[in-house]
Amino acid sequence: MNKGAPRTPGWWFGDAAVPAWARLLAPLYAGVTALRRRLYRRGLLRQRRAEVPVVVIGNLAAGGAGKTPLTIAVVQKLREAGWRPGVASRGYGRRDDATPLWVTAETLPQDGGDEPVLVARRLPVPVRVDRDRAAAARALAEAGCDIVVCDDGLQHYRLARDIEIEVIDGSRRYGNGRMLPAGPLREPVERGRCCDFRVVNLGHGAGQGGTGFGEWPMHLQARAALPIAGGRPRALASYIGIRVHAVAGIGNPQRFFDMLRALGVGVVPHAFADHHAYRPEDLQFGNDLPVLMTEKDAVKCAPFADARCFAVPVDAELPAAFWVALLDRLDRLR
């Protein structure tokens, strides 16, 4: 592990004992969260509507679960179905979090947030970041979008939504099942039952858990490595039997390492904290082995990446029946 490795508490997803202070604070957090939900449900706190359908993609457990790949896949399907989608996000980690911003492919990650910049580079759709995601959704509607997809924001109740999609990490699920800070849960597990769709990220193959009743499987497929400094793509299969430095600053770096290993790549892992602000020295490992990193990390490393560095984009794949069910629900909202 690098000095920038994730600092997820060992008791969240492991067997470590939960500290007493965390057990004492968890009921307080749970009570405040429940009160807030109740106030919105009773109308004492006001929700804001965007005048167009809103799809919120989020998760209950803190950390990455695969929301952004699913967001990209949903937006692509919407465009194919004739919708004019836009993407709303908070833009976590921006240096000016208080100022709303239209994000384009040219926006710097430190200004727009790494995930929104990634979405803007992958999709020809408007992307708006705002701490108030309800305001972001309204701005997208005013810009001509006829549907808004919110990347994260399941707990942002100020934004009224028509469809909720919960994303679950297939290998880690809900960890120890406790509320923050005793566990990774932002809301109780039962909250997921209120969501219209529950998608389980099974990663890149077997060994990543499975799906239960009412859950849809999602697999992430990676086929090529793209040179960050420019050049021709390289098939991932060409790295079979070759040692590489694997860099991941996502919610669950192990998922990226496991994917490469499953393909037969010799992985030297380098895990960083989610939303890590990379510096050139972070990619100096003392040799000239290839450096493979997630697409999310690549958008931040692009200014100083050299010929060793490659991004590995992934595509979310779900059953055809999922897309039929989702688009059918949305067609009723047109």
30 assigned binding-site residue = no
107 assigned binding-site residue = no
Number of C-alpha atoms within 13 angstroms, CB side, residue 236? Answer: 22
- Here the tokens at position 11 are 């008791």
Q: What are phi and psi of 151, to 5 degrees?
A: -80, 105
Is 240 in contact with 263 (CB distance < 8 Å)?
A: yes
61, β-bridge pairs: 185
68 assigned binding-site residue = yes
67 assigned binding-site residue = yes
61 assigned binding-site residue = yes
Q: What are phi and psi of 295, to 5 degrees?
A: -65, -35
86 assigned binding-site residue = no
64 assigned binding-site residue = yes
Cα–Cα dist 108/49, whole Å:
30
Nearest to 169 by CA among 58, 264, 273, 325: 58
Cα–Cα dist 173/166, whole Å:
12
296 assigned binding-site residue = no
Cα–Cα dist 334/329, whole Å:
10
Annotated binding site for ATP: 61-68
Annotated binding site: 61-68
